[in-house]
Amino acid sequence: MGILIQQKGFSAEQLEKFKRYQRLSYDVLEEATDVLRPGVSEQEAARHIRKKFHLAGARGYFHVPVVLFGDRTAYPGDFGRLEAISTDRGLEEGDAVIFDAAPIFDGFKVDTSYAFSFGSNPRFEAADRALREFRALLLALIGEGLSFREIAWKVDDRVRELGFENCHKKHIGAVLGHRVTYAPQYPVRLPRIWGLAPRQVSWFLYKSLQARLGARAATPNWNASRQCSTKPTDGLWAMEPHIARDGVGAKFEEILVIDADGARWLDDDLPHTRRWTST
């Protein structure tokens, strides 16, 4: 383990803590729906989520909570990398909704997305049903020994076959997924900037630069770029397939474990998996 950041070799106890904090993050996102009513803005909902996370013990973020309503869940048109930042767009009955947050609890980074509809929305339900197969597909593709890049291509192919648009190509870093890390806690904490955890964010940016300069094995990103031509490496990965059609987007985001035992999801009891099991 490095002095500043641990990216692999997690113990059973550490994995259990990642699992606990991932569930806590989802609990917060589910509870934060209590703020929703027609006319409430994305920004108001995002502030409410941040307050909930603070009360839950989060003291920093890999990225601050993001809220998307309606057509913005579909990343329409030339959706810029920073356009996901919450706006004053008001909620309407029947809107698709995405809550996305990457809180850090006691040095354990998790990244979760909770997608749902505010009232009935058959188009969201169709997208959500289509997402279900990507959980199994990702495990199968890793098992085939494909590279990060090849897996991203295969996922994109399947998105199109199902009649949807790939939205995760419009994420920052064009990521289908990214590394999840642990930062050991020290008595002196670095100041946060806009709520972001400096060690975790700086490490991620440094590793991304290393990969662009040729050290492909260092990449913390999982996308279709040349930097991702290596096979998936040991560690934890926040996977976030995001699809859209007819102005409605849906996604999930959760931790995938890759180690000597192969690839597996950290937790099979999350809001989206429970929803899919019940339908």
The string of pLDDT tens digits covering residues 226-241 is 989 999 999 999 999 9
Residue 52's pLDDT is 97
E strand residue ranges, the chain: 60-69, 96-105, 108-109, 112-117, 165-166, 177-180, 221-222, 235-239, 242-245, 248-251, 254-259, 262-265
pTM of the predicted model as reported, rounded to 2 decimal places: 0.94
Give yes or no for residue 78 having a pLDDT over 60.
yes
Residue range 19-47: average pLDDT?
98
Q: Does pLDDT of 109 surpass 60?
A: yes
Q: In angstroms, what is the C-alpha Rg of the chain?
A: 18
- Percent of the chain predicted with pLDDT > 90: 78
pLDDT of 193 reads 59
- Report the topology of domain 12-278: Creatine Amidinohydrolase (3.90.230)
Please give the Cα distance from 16 to 22 (Å, whole number).
10
Q: What is the pLDDT of residue 2?
A: 45
- On average, the pLDDT of the chain sits at 92
Q: What is the pLDDT of residue 274?
A: 96
Question: What is the reported pLDDT for 204?
Answer: 87
